[in-house]
Protein backbone atom coordinates (compact mmCIF):
# COMPACT_ATOMS: atom_id res chain seq x y z
CA UNK A 1 0.00 0.00 0.00
CA UNK A 2 2.76 2.34 0.92
CA UNK A 3 4.47 1.49 -2.34
CA UNK A 4 1.36 2.41 -4.28
CA UNK A 5 1.03 5.80 -2.54
CA UNK A 6 4.68 6.61 -3.02
CA UNK A 7 4.32 5.88 -6.73
CA UNK A 8 1.33 8.16 -7.04
CA UNK A 9 3.18 10.90 -5.27
CA UNK A 10 6.11 10.37 -7.53
CA UNK A 11 3.85 10.57 -10.60
CA UNK A 12 2.22 13.79 -9.33
CA UNK A 13 5.60 15.31 -8.62
CA UNK A 14 6.76 14.53 -12.09
CA UNK A 15 3.62 16.13 -13.61
CA UNK A 16 4.05 19.24 -11.47
CA UNK A 17 7.67 19.45 -12.51
CA UNK A 18 6.78 19.13 -16.15
CA UNK A 19 4.15 21.88 -15.82
CA UNK A 20 6.63 24.14 -14.11
CA UNK A 21 9.17 23.51 -16.83
CA UNK A 22 6.54 24.30 -19.48
CA UNK A 23 5.51 27.50 -17.72
CA UNK A 24 9.08 28.67 -17.32
CA UNK A 25 9.75 27.91 -20.98
CA UNK A 26 6.73 29.94 -22.01
CA UNK A 27 7.78 32.82 -19.77
CA UNK A 28 11.24 32.74 -21.28
CA UNK A 29 9.74 32.81 -24.76
CA UNK A 30 7.53 35.82 -23.90
CA UNK A 31 10.46 37.61 -22.32
CA UNK A 32 12.58 36.94 -25.41
CA UNK A 33 9.79 38.29 -27.65
CA UNK A 34 9.42 41.45 -25.57
CA UNK A 35 13.14 41.98 -25.50
CA UNK A 36 13.35 41.51 -29.24
CA UNK A 37 10.51 44.00 -30.00
CA UNK A 38 12.11 46.55 -27.68
CA UNK A 39 15.41 46.17 -29.49
CA UNK A 40 13.70 46.51 -32.89
CA UNK A 41 11.83 49.63 -31.70
CA UNK A 42 15.08 51.16 -30.46
CA UNK A 43 16.76 50.38 -33.78
CA UNK A 44 13.89 52.02 -35.70
CA UNK A 45 13.91 55.07 -33.48
CA UNK A 46 17.64 55.33 -33.90
CA UNK A 47 17.32 55.15 -37.68
CA UNK A 48 14.53 57.84 -37.76
CA UNK A 49 16.66 60.05 -35.54
CA UNK A 50 19.69 59.59 -37.77
CA UNK A 51 17.53 60.37 -40.85
CA UNK A 52 16.21 63.59 -39.32
CA UNK A 53 19.68 64.62 -38.36
CA UNK A 54 20.82 63.97 -41.89
CA UNK A 55 17.93 66.04 -43.35
CA UNK A 56 18.63 68.88 -40.94
CA UNK A 57 22.28 68.82 -41.98
CA UNK A 58 21.22 68.94 -45.67
CA UNK A 59 18.76 71.82 -45.02
CA UNK A 60 21.50 73.73 -43.26
CA UNK A 61 23.81 73.16 -46.21
CA UNK A 62 21.11 74.45 -48.70
CA UNK A 63 20.41 77.51 -46.56
CA UNK A 64 24.12 78.23 -46.39
CA UNK A 65 24.39 77.96 -50.16
CA UNK A 66 21.37 80.27 -50.72
CA UNK A 67 22.84 82.76 -48.28
CA UNK A 68 26.15 82.69 -50.13
CA UNK A 69 24.39 83.19 -53.52
CA UNK A 70 22.32 86.11 -52.17
CA UNK A 71 25.44 87.66 -50.71
CA UNK A 72 27.25 87.36 -54.05
CA UNK A 73 24.25 88.84 -55.95
CA UNK A 74 24.01 91.70 -53.48
CA UNK A 75 27.71 92.47 -53.84
CA UNK A 76 27.42 92.37 -57.64
CA UNK A 77 24.44 94.82 -57.57
CA UNK A 78 26.43 97.19 -55.39
CA UNK A 79 29.39 96.94 -57.75
CA UNK A 80 27.24 97.55 -60.86
CA UNK A 81 25.41 100.46 -59.22
CA UNK A 82 28.71 102.04 -58.20
CA UNK A 83 30.07 101.62 -61.75
CA UNK A 84 26.98 103.21 -63.29
CA UNK A 85 27.19 106.11 -60.86
CA UNK A 86 30.82 106.85 -61.72
CA UNK A 87 30.23 106.39 -65.45
CA UNK A 88 27.22 108.77 -65.31
CA UNK A 89 29.21 111.32 -63.33
CA UNK A 90 32.02 111.21 -65.87
CA UNK A 91 29.78 111.25 -68.91
CA UNK A 92 27.74 114.20 -67.55
CA UNK A 93 30.80 116.39 -68.06
CA UNK A 94 31.23 115.21 -71.66
CA UNK A 95 29.12 116.19 -74.71
CA UNK A 96 26.38 113.63 -75.28
CA UNK A 97 26.62 111.45 -78.30
CA UNK A 98 23.59 110.12 -80.14
CA UNK A 99 23.33 106.38 -79.96
CA UNK A 100 24.04 104.65 -83.23
CA UNK A 101 20.93 104.29 -85.35
CA UNK A 102 19.70 100.78 -85.80
CA UNK A 103 18.39 100.32 -89.28
CA UNK A 104 15.00 98.71 -89.31
CA UNK A 105 14.44 96.00 -91.84
CA UNK A 106 12.99 97.49 -95.00
CA UNK A 107 9.30 96.83 -95.43
CA UNK A 108 7.99 95.92 -98.81
CA UNK A 109 6.10 98.84 -100.31
CA UNK A 110 2.35 98.24 -100.48
CA UNK A 111 0.73 98.96 -103.79
CA UNK A 112 -1.60 102.01 -103.64
CA UNK A 113 -5.19 100.88 -103.24
CA UNK A 114 -7.41 102.16 -106.05
CA UNK A 115 -11.19 102.11 -105.66
CA UNK A 116 -13.96 103.08 -108.04
CA UNK A 117 -17.57 103.90 -107.24
CA UNK A 118 -20.37 105.25 -109.42
CA UNK A 119 -24.01 106.20 -109.72
CA UNK A 120 -26.29 106.26 -112.75
CA UNK A 121 -28.40 109.24 -113.83
CA UNK A 122 -31.28 109.59 -116.30
CA UNK A 123 -33.20 112.72 -117.32
CA UNK A 124 -36.33 113.52 -119.31
CA UNK A 125 -37.88 116.87 -120.22
CA UNK A 126 -40.95 118.91 -119.38
CA UNK A 127 -44.08 117.71 -117.59
CA UNK A 128 -46.33 120.25 -119.32
CA UNK A 129 -49.73 119.37 -117.86
CA UNK A 130 -52.41 120.88 -120.08
CA UNK A 131 -56.00 120.63 -118.95
CA UNK A 132 -56.61 117.84 -121.48
CA UNK A 133 -54.12 115.67 -119.58
CA UNK A 134 -55.62 116.13 -116.15
CA UNK A 135 -59.14 115.75 -117.58
CA UNK A 136 -58.01 112.38 -118.90
CA UNK A 137 -56.65 111.49 -115.44
CA UNK A 138 -59.82 112.50 -113.57
CA UNK A 139 -61.42 109.57 -111.70
CA UNK A 140 -64.54 111.67 -111.06
CA UNK A 141 -64.39 110.64 -107.43
CA UNK A 142 -63.95 113.22 -104.69
CA UNK A 143 -61.47 113.01 -101.85
CA UNK A 144 -61.89 114.00 -98.22
CA UNK A 145 -60.90 117.56 -99.21
CA UNK A 146 -63.88 117.79 -101.54
CA UNK A 147 -61.76 117.95 -104.73
CA UNK A 148 -61.63 115.44 -107.56
CA UNK A 149 -59.05 112.66 -107.38
CA UNK A 150 -56.70 112.21 -110.37
CA UNK A 151 -54.80 109.13 -111.49
CA UNK A 152 -51.95 109.49 -114.00
CA UNK A 153 -50.33 106.08 -113.48
CA UNK A 154 -51.44 104.52 -116.77
CA UNK A 155 -49.75 107.38 -118.66
CA UNK A 156 -46.34 106.51 -117.22
CA UNK A 157 -46.18 102.69 -117.12
CA UNK A 158 -43.75 102.44 -120.07
CA UNK A 159 -41.69 105.38 -118.80
CA UNK A 160 -41.40 103.64 -115.43
CA UNK A 161 -39.58 100.74 -117.11
CA UNK A 162 -37.19 103.13 -118.84
CA UNK A 163 -36.05 104.92 -115.68
CA UNK A 164 -36.19 101.98 -113.25
CA UNK A 165 -32.51 100.85 -113.46
CA UNK A 166 -31.10 104.29 -112.62
CA UNK A 167 -30.10 105.74 -109.25
CA UNK A 168 -31.02 109.38 -109.91
CA UNK A 169 -34.00 110.25 -112.10
CA UNK A 170 -34.64 113.85 -113.21
CA UNK A 171 -37.56 115.65 -114.81
CA UNK A 172 -38.72 119.27 -115.17
CA UNK A 173 -42.03 120.16 -113.44
CA UNK A 174 -42.89 122.81 -116.01
CA UNK A 175 -46.34 123.57 -114.57
CA UNK A 176 -46.71 124.50 -110.95
CA UNK A 177 -48.24 122.29 -108.26
CA UNK A 178 -49.99 125.25 -106.67
CA UNK A 179 -52.81 123.65 -104.67
CA UNK A 180 -56.31 122.68 -105.80
CA UNK A 181 -57.81 125.44 -103.66
CA UNK A 182 -56.42 127.96 -106.17
CA UNK A 183 -58.21 126.14 -108.99
CA UNK A 184 -56.65 123.77 -111.53
CA UNK A 185 -55.87 125.33 -114.89
CA UNK A 186 -54.11 124.82 -118.19
CA UNK A 187 -52.58 127.25 -120.68
CA UNK A 188 -51.57 130.04 -120.26
CA UNK A 189 -51.43 130.15 -116.44
CA UNK A 190 -51.08 126.57 -115.30
CA UNK A 191 -51.88 124.88 -112.01
CA UNK A 192 -51.59 121.09 -111.91
CA UNK A 193 -53.02 118.58 -109.43
CA UNK A 194 -50.76 117.13 -106.74
CA UNK A 195 -51.42 113.64 -108.10
CA UNK A 196 -49.24 114.15 -111.19
CA UNK A 197 -46.26 114.85 -108.93
CA UNK A 198 -47.18 111.94 -106.66
CA UNK A 199 -47.46 109.49 -109.55
CA UNK A 200 -44.14 110.60 -111.05
CA UNK A 201 -42.42 110.22 -107.69
CA UNK A 202 -44.09 106.84 -107.31
CA UNK A 203 -42.33 105.50 -110.43
CA UNK A 204 -38.99 106.76 -109.12
CA UNK A 205 -38.29 110.37 -110.06
CA UNK A 206 -36.17 111.88 -107.28
CA UNK A 207 -34.58 115.03 -108.77
CA UNK A 208 -37.04 117.74 -109.89
CA UNK A 209 -36.60 121.20 -111.38
CA UNK A 210 -39.09 123.84 -110.19
CA UNK A 211 -37.66 126.99 -111.81
CA UNK A 212 -39.66 127.65 -114.98
CA UNK A 213 -41.44 130.46 -116.75
CA UNK A 214 -44.64 129.14 -115.08
CA UNK A 215 -43.44 129.19 -111.45
CA UNK A 216 -45.40 132.40 -110.73
CA UNK A 217 -48.52 131.43 -112.72
CA UNK A 218 -50.61 131.34 -109.51
CA UNK A 219 -48.84 134.25 -107.88
CA UNK A 220 -47.01 134.21 -104.58
CA UNK A 221 -49.56 131.88 -102.97
CA UNK A 222 -49.11 129.22 -105.64
CA UNK A 223 -45.31 129.46 -105.59
CA UNK A 224 -45.22 129.20 -101.79
CA UNK A 225 -47.53 126.17 -101.85
CA UNK A 226 -45.35 124.53 -104.51
CA UNK A 227 -42.08 125.17 -102.67
CA UNK A 228 -43.47 123.83 -99.39
CA UNK A 229 -44.98 120.80 -101.11
CA UNK A 230 -41.78 119.79 -102.87
CA UNK A 231 -39.36 120.47 -100.06
CA UNK A 232 -41.41 118.26 -97.77
CA UNK A 233 -40.69 115.27 -100.01
CA UNK A 234 -37.85 113.64 -98.10
CA UNK A 235 -36.50 111.46 -100.91
CA UNK A 236 -36.62 114.15 -103.61
CA UNK A 237 -34.08 116.87 -104.40
CA UNK A 238 -36.17 119.82 -105.62
CA UNK A 239 -34.28 122.80 -107.06
CA UNK A 240 -34.96 126.32 -108.37
CA UNK A 241 -37.70 127.42 -105.94
CA UNK A 242 -37.35 127.70 -102.16
CA UNK A 243 -39.22 128.50 -98.96
CA UNK A 244 -36.97 131.34 -97.72
CA UNK A 245 -33.82 133.29 -98.62
CA UNK A 246 -31.81 131.25 -96.16
CA UNK A 247 -33.16 128.07 -97.71
CA UNK A 248 -32.26 129.34 -101.18
CA UNK A 249 -28.71 130.29 -100.15
CA UNK A 250 -28.05 127.01 -98.32
CA UNK A 251 -27.34 124.76 -101.29
CA UNK A 252 -28.22 121.19 -100.50
CA UNK A 253 -25.55 118.51 -100.91
CA UNK A 254 -26.59 114.90 -101.28
CA UNK A 255 -24.73 111.61 -101.56
CA UNK A 256 -25.32 108.61 -103.79
CA UNK A 257 -23.12 105.50 -103.59
CA UNK A 258 -20.42 107.49 -101.81
CA UNK A 259 -20.44 110.31 -104.39
CA UNK A 260 -21.54 113.79 -103.32
CA UNK A 261 -23.57 115.92 -105.69
CA UNK A 262 -25.61 119.11 -105.90
CA UNK A 263 -27.84 120.74 -108.47
CA UNK A 264 -28.49 124.44 -109.08
CA UNK A 265 -31.36 125.78 -111.16
CA UNK A 266 -32.25 128.97 -113.03
CA UNK A 267 -35.00 130.17 -115.39
CA UNK A 268 -34.77 132.91 -118.00
CA UNK A 269 -37.99 134.56 -116.70
CA UNK A 270 -41.58 134.15 -115.46
CA UNK A 271 -43.68 135.18 -118.48
CA UNK A 272 -43.77 138.79 -117.38
CA UNK A 273 -45.29 138.01 -113.98
CA UNK A 274 -43.11 139.92 -111.50
CA UNK A 275 -41.59 138.21 -108.49
CA UNK A 276 -42.47 140.47 -105.51
CA UNK A 277 -39.58 142.21 -103.74
CA UNK A 278 -38.42 140.14 -100.82
CA UNK A 279 -39.71 136.91 -102.44
CA UNK A 280 -36.88 136.42 -104.93
CA UNK A 281 -36.15 133.05 -103.30
CA UNK A 282 -39.39 131.68 -104.79
CA UNK A 283 -37.67 131.32 -108.17
CA UNK A 284 -34.11 131.85 -109.43
CA UNK A 285 -34.38 134.19 -112.42
CA UNK A 286 -31.30 134.62 -114.63
CA UNK A 287 -32.79 137.06 -117.16
CA UNK A 288 -31.94 137.00 -120.85
CA UNK A 289 -32.08 140.76 -121.44
CA UNK A 290 -31.20 143.48 -118.96
CA UNK A 291 -29.52 141.95 -116.01
CA UNK A 292 -28.11 138.91 -117.84
CA UNK A 293 -24.46 139.91 -117.35
CA UNK A 294 -24.91 141.31 -113.84
CA UNK A 295 -26.68 138.14 -112.65
CA UNK A 296 -23.59 136.13 -113.56
CA UNK A 297 -22.09 137.35 -110.27
CA UNK A 298 -24.89 135.62 -108.36
CA UNK A 299 -24.43 132.42 -110.39
CA UNK A 300 -20.70 132.50 -109.68
CA UNK A 301 -21.34 133.02 -105.97
CA UNK A 302 -23.74 130.07 -105.91
CA UNK A 303 -21.28 127.79 -107.67
CA UNK A 304 -18.29 128.80 -105.56
CA UNK A 305 -20.27 128.17 -102.37
CA UNK A 306 -20.72 124.50 -103.25
CA UNK A 307 -18.13 123.49 -105.88
CA UNK A 308 -15.48 122.36 -103.36
CA UNK A 309 -18.03 120.43 -101.31
CA UNK A 310 -19.21 118.05 -104.01
CA UNK A 311 -17.80 115.52 -106.43
CA UNK A 312 -20.36 116.42 -109.11
CA UNK A 313 -22.11 119.73 -109.74
CA UNK A 314 -25.10 119.90 -112.10
CA UNK A 315 -27.21 122.84 -113.25
CA UNK A 316 -30.75 122.81 -114.62
CA UNK A 317 -31.23 125.63 -117.11
CA UNK A 318 -34.73 126.71 -118.19
CA UNK A 319 -33.62 128.64 -121.24
CA UNK A 320 -33.73 129.10 -125.01
CA UNK A 321 -36.44 129.91 -127.52
CA UNK A 322 -39.49 127.70 -127.82
CA UNK A 323 -39.82 125.29 -130.77
CA UNK A 324 -36.29 125.68 -132.17
CA UNK A 325 -35.91 122.01 -133.02
CA UNK A 326 -32.38 120.73 -133.42
CA UNK A 327 -30.41 123.88 -132.58
CA UNK A 328 -29.76 126.33 -129.74
CA UNK A 329 -29.25 130.10 -129.67
CA UNK A 330 -26.34 132.36 -128.72
CA UNK A 331 -27.71 133.05 -125.25
CA UNK A 332 -27.79 129.33 -124.46
CA UNK A 333 -24.25 128.86 -125.74
CA UNK A 334 -22.89 131.83 -123.80
CA UNK A 335 -24.52 130.73 -120.55
CA UNK A 336 -23.25 127.17 -121.06
CA UNK A 337 -19.69 128.40 -121.64
CA UNK A 338 -19.86 130.54 -118.52
CA UNK A 339 -21.11 127.65 -116.39
CA UNK A 340 -18.43 125.35 -117.83
CA UNK A 341 -15.74 127.92 -117.00
CA UNK A 342 -16.85 127.81 -113.34
CA UNK A 343 -16.44 124.05 -113.14
CA UNK A 344 -20.00 122.77 -113.67
CA UNK A 345 -19.97 119.11 -114.73
CA UNK A 346 -23.43 118.71 -116.32
CA UNK A 347 -26.00 121.18 -117.70
CA UNK A 348 -29.54 119.95 -118.42
CA UNK A 349 -31.67 122.29 -120.50
CA UNK A 350 -35.46 122.56 -120.55
CA UNK A 351 -38.20 124.91 -121.87
CA UNK A 352 -37.99 124.90 -125.72
CA UNK A 353 -40.47 121.93 -125.78
CA UNK A 354 -38.45 120.33 -128.59
CA UNK A 355 -35.20 118.34 -128.69
CA UNK A 356 -31.90 120.14 -129.17
CA UNK A 357 -28.30 118.90 -129.36
CA UNK A 358 -26.18 117.27 -126.68
CA UNK A 359 -22.50 118.19 -126.73
CA UNK A 360 -19.40 118.82 -124.65
CA UNK A 361 -17.85 122.16 -123.80
CA UNK A 362 -14.45 121.08 -122.54
CA UNK A 363 -15.28 118.43 -119.93
CA UNK A 364 -18.79 119.79 -119.31
CA UNK A 365 -21.70 117.79 -120.71
CA UNK A 366 -24.38 120.13 -122.08
CA UNK A 367 -27.90 118.93 -122.90
CA UNK A 368 -29.51 121.97 -124.52
CA UNK A 369 -33.11 120.72 -124.48
CA UNK A 370 -34.87 117.40 -123.84
CA UNK A 371 -38.20 118.72 -125.16
CA UNK A 372 -41.46 117.58 -123.59
CA UNK A 373 -41.75 114.48 -121.48
CA UNK A 374 -45.56 114.79 -121.68
CA UNK A 375 -47.84 117.47 -123.08
CA UNK A 376 -51.09 117.95 -124.99
CA UNK A 377 -49.44 120.22 -127.55
CA UNK A 378 -50.16 119.72 -131.21
CA UNK A 379 -47.41 118.97 -133.71
CA UNK A 380 -44.85 116.18 -133.99
CA UNK A 381 -41.88 118.29 -132.81
CA UNK A 382 -43.61 118.89 -129.47
CA UNK A 383 -44.62 115.26 -128.97
CA UNK A 384 -41.13 113.81 -129.49
CA UNK A 385 -39.04 114.13 -126.36
CA UNK A 386 -35.49 113.29 -125.43
CA UNK A 387 -33.91 111.05 -122.81
CA UNK A 388 -30.30 111.30 -121.66
CA UNK A 389 -28.47 108.94 -119.32
CA UNK A 390 -24.92 108.70 -118.00
CA UNK A 391 -22.79 107.36 -115.19
CA UNK A 392 -20.77 109.41 -112.72
CA UNK A 393 -17.62 107.54 -111.72
CA UNK A 394 -15.30 108.49 -108.87
CA UNK A 395 -11.79 107.07 -108.48
CA UNK A 396 -9.89 107.18 -105.20
CA UNK A 397 -6.29 106.20 -104.45
CA UNK A 398 -5.65 105.38 -100.80
CA UNK A 399 -8.80 107.29 -99.90
CA UNK A 400 -7.93 110.42 -101.90
CA UNK A 401 -10.10 111.42 -104.88
CA UNK A 402 -8.03 111.28 -108.06
CA UNK A 403 -10.77 111.55 -110.69
CA UNK A 404 -14.49 112.17 -111.14
CA UNK A 405 -15.81 111.72 -114.65
CA UNK A 406 -19.04 111.58 -116.64
CA UNK A 407 -19.06 108.31 -118.57
CA UNK A 408 -21.22 106.20 -120.85
CA UNK A 409 -23.38 109.08 -122.12
CA UNK A 410 -26.45 107.82 -123.99
CA UNK A 411 -29.45 109.51 -125.58
CA UNK A 412 -32.74 108.34 -127.04
CA UNK A 413 -36.30 109.39 -127.83
CA UNK A 414 -39.80 109.03 -126.33
CA UNK A 415 -43.20 109.97 -127.71
CA UNK A 416 -46.39 111.34 -126.13
CA UNK A 417 -49.33 109.47 -127.63
CA UNK A 418 -52.94 110.60 -127.33
CA UNK A 419 -56.13 110.22 -129.36
CA UNK A 420 -58.64 113.09 -129.38
CA UNK A 421 -56.97 114.39 -126.18
CA UNK A 422 -57.62 111.11 -124.42
CA UNK A 423 -55.61 108.01 -123.54
CA UNK A 424 -52.37 109.93 -122.99
CA UNK A 425 -49.32 107.73 -122.72
CA UNK A 426 -45.53 108.27 -122.79
CA UNK A 427 -43.97 105.57 -124.98
CA UNK A 428 -40.33 104.90 -125.94
CA UNK A 429 -39.92 104.65 -129.74
CA UNK A 430 -38.98 100.98 -129.69
CA UNK A 431 -42.49 100.20 -128.34
CA UNK A 432 -44.32 102.17 -131.02
CA UNK A 433 -46.01 100.83 -134.13
CA UNK A 434 -47.61 102.39 -137.18
CA UNK A 435 -51.02 102.36 -135.53
CA UNK A 436 -49.74 104.54 -132.71
CA UNK A 437 -47.49 106.74 -134.89
CA UNK A 438 -47.51 106.17 -138.60
CA UNK A 439 -43.99 106.13 -140.07
CA UNK A 440 -42.43 105.99 -136.58
CA UNK A 441 -39.21 104.39 -137.89
CA UNK A 442 -38.37 107.22 -140.27
CA UNK A 443 -39.48 109.77 -137.66
CA UNK A 444 -37.09 108.17 -135.17
CA UNK A 445 -34.19 108.29 -137.64
CA UNK A 446 -34.83 111.98 -138.32
CA UNK A 447 -35.14 113.12 -134.71
CA UNK A 448 -32.26 111.10 -133.33
CA UNK A 449 -30.04 113.10 -135.70
CA UNK A 450 -30.84 116.22 -133.62
CA UNK A 451 -29.40 114.67 -130.47
CA UNK A 452 -25.76 114.36 -131.55
CA UNK A 453 -25.34 116.29 -134.80
CA UNK A 454 -21.56 116.63 -134.33
CA UNK A 455 -21.16 112.85 -134.16
CA UNK A 456 -19.23 113.01 -130.88
CA UNK A 457 -18.05 109.45 -130.14
CA UNK A 458 -18.55 110.04 -126.43
CA UNK A 459 -22.32 110.29 -126.94
CA UNK A 460 -24.21 107.16 -127.95
CA UNK A 461 -27.59 107.67 -129.60
CA UNK A 462 -30.10 104.83 -129.29
CA UNK A 463 -29.99 102.70 -126.14
CA UNK A 464 -33.62 101.92 -125.29
CA UNK A 465 -35.05 98.62 -126.49
230-260 in b/e burial notation, b at 16+ Cβ within 10 A?
bbeeeebbbbbbbbeeeebeebeeeebeebb
* Across 41-50, 146-155, 352-361, 438-447, least confident range: 41-50
The predicted structure's pLDDT at residue 188: 97
The predicted structure's pLDDT at residue 399: 87
Q: Is the pLDDT of residue 86 over 50?
A: no
Q: Is the pLDDT of residue 96 over 70?
A: no
Q: Is the pLDDT of residue 138 over 70?
A: yes
Confidence band, pLDDT 50/70/90 cuts, at residue 215: very high
Gap between the Cα atoms of 63 and 83, Å rounded: 30
Over residues 149-170, the pLDDT tens digits come to 999 999 999 999 999 999 999 9
Over residues 353-391, the pLDDT tens digits come to 999 999 999 999 999 999 999 999 999 999 999 999 999
- The half-sphere exposure of 85 on its side-chain side, counting CA atoms within 13 A, is 6
Q: Is the pLDDT of residue 49 over 50?
A: yes
Contacts 24+ apart (CB under 8 A), 247-251: 247/281, 248/280, 248/281, 248/284, 249/305, 251/302, 251/305, 251/306
Gap between the Cα atoms of 125 and 423, Å rounded: 20
The predicted structure's pLDDT at residue 6: 47
pTM for this entry: 0.77
**Domain ranges (residues) in the chain:** 1-88, 117-461
The predicted structure's pLDDT at residue 40: 59
Over residues 171-207, the pLDDT tens digits come to 999 999 999 999 999 999 999 999 999 999 999 999 9
Q: For the domain 117-461, what is the CATH code?
A: 3.60.21.10
Out of 10-24, 29-43, 66-80, the most confident range is 66-80
Confidence band, pLDDT 50/70/90 cuts, at residue 112: confident
Confidence band, pLDDT 50/70/90 cuts, at residue 41: low
Amino acid sequence: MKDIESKEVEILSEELLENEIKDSTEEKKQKKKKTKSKKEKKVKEKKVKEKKQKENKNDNKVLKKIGIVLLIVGLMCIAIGTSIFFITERSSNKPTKEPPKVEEPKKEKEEPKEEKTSFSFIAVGDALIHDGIYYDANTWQTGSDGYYIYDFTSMFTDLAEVIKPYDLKFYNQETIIGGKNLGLSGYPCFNSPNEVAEDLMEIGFNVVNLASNHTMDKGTAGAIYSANYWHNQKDVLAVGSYTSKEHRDTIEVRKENGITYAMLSYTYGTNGIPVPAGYEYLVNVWPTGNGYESYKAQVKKDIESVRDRVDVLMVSMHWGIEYQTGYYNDYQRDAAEYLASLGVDVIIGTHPHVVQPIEYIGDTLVVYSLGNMISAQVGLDKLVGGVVAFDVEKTTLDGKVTDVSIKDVKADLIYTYYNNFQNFKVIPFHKLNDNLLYGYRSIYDRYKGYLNPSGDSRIQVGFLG
